[in-house]
Amino acid sequence: MGFFSRVTNLWSGFLSLFVEGLETKNPEIVYESAINQRVQQYQKLMKAVSGIVYLRNKLQKELEEKTAKLKEVQQQLPVAIQQGDDEVSVVLIEQKNSLTSDIERVQSELQKISQQAEDAKTSLIAFQGDIEKLKAEKESMLAKRENAMAQKKIQDQLSNLSVDADLKALSSVRESINKLEAHVDIAKEINAGGLDHKLKEIKIKTSNASAKNELEEIKKQMNLQQNKINIEKKL
């Protein structure tokens, strides 16, 4: 193998890999290309079937014309014989025989071409069905591809997450919450030992002492009142 042949083969290999890569990344284009090719084949097949149907119709018309002509000759022949016109009778017989032979030939050809037309129409319908199936397959496969790509993206994202990183993040959150609680506790402790807090306590105690003194005074007054009532009853 020569140098240029090896280079050509190498380049063909690279090109095939490149095309394969494009097909993998662009499945929609591949499906569209396959569908378009089948549509073109369908149109060619339609043209061929049209030709077969045209020939069938032509033979059918020829058969009808020759059958009508034969019927006419068969009606004329007895008249010519009765009139004793042998020359005309011979011509009519020759025409009858020729028409009969032609009709048999046309019938045979028509039977064959009619079968071909039916087979061609069946193939055409089946080919049309294949195109519709391919279109449906395209939609289904592209939907599967999108779903698979979405799942792969999620899996890739999950696989890139580190468990250690998650634990560190949780630890940081917990530590920040604990620090916040400690800050609140310190504020409470500072407020508890502060001047304002002591003044509040004194105010509460003072208020309680005043209330207790007032209570004792009320009790004394009530006792005095009761004693007075008792003395008056004795008198």
**CATH classification at residue 35:** 1.10.287
Region 78-98 average pLDDT: 90
Averaged pLDDT score across all residues of the chain: 78
Q: What is the reported pLDDT for 69?
A: 93
81 and 177 share a domain? no
Rg of the chain taking only CA atoms, in angstroms? 57
Whether 138 and 220 map to the same domain: the answer is no
Number of structural domains in the chain: 2
**pLDDT tens per residue across span 167-182:** 677 777 788 887 788 7
Q: What is the dihedral of CA 156, 158, 162, 166, to 10 degrees?
A: 150
pLDDT band at 18 (very low <50, low <70, confident <90, very high): very low
Of the residues 119, 138, 161, the one at which a domain ends: 161
Q: Percent of the chain, pLDDT > 90?
A: 21
The CA-atom distances, in angstroms, between 33 and each of 28, 29, 131, 138, 143 are 9, 6, 12, 11, 18
Residues 93 and 174 grouped into a single domain: no
Tokens of 122: 């069946």
In the predicted model, what is the mean pLDDT of residues 150-156?
81
Same domain, 97 and 209: no
Query: Six-digit token pair at 145?
Result: 């591809």
20-42 pLDDT per residue, tens: 555 567 888 888 888 898 888 88
* Final residue belonging to a domain, choices 161, 178, 206: 161
| One domain for residues 31 and 69 | yes
Residue 162 scores a pLDDT above 80: no
Q: Are residues 150 and 203 in the same domain?
A: no
Among 7-11, 82-86, 95-99, 160-164, the range scoring the smallest mean pLDDT is: 7-11
How does pLDDT run across 206-226, given as a tens digit for each residue? 766 667 777 778 878 887 777
Neighbours of 117 (CB within 10 A): 19
Q: Which domain holds residue 15?
A: 3-161
Of 107, 128, 161, at which residue does a domain stop? 161
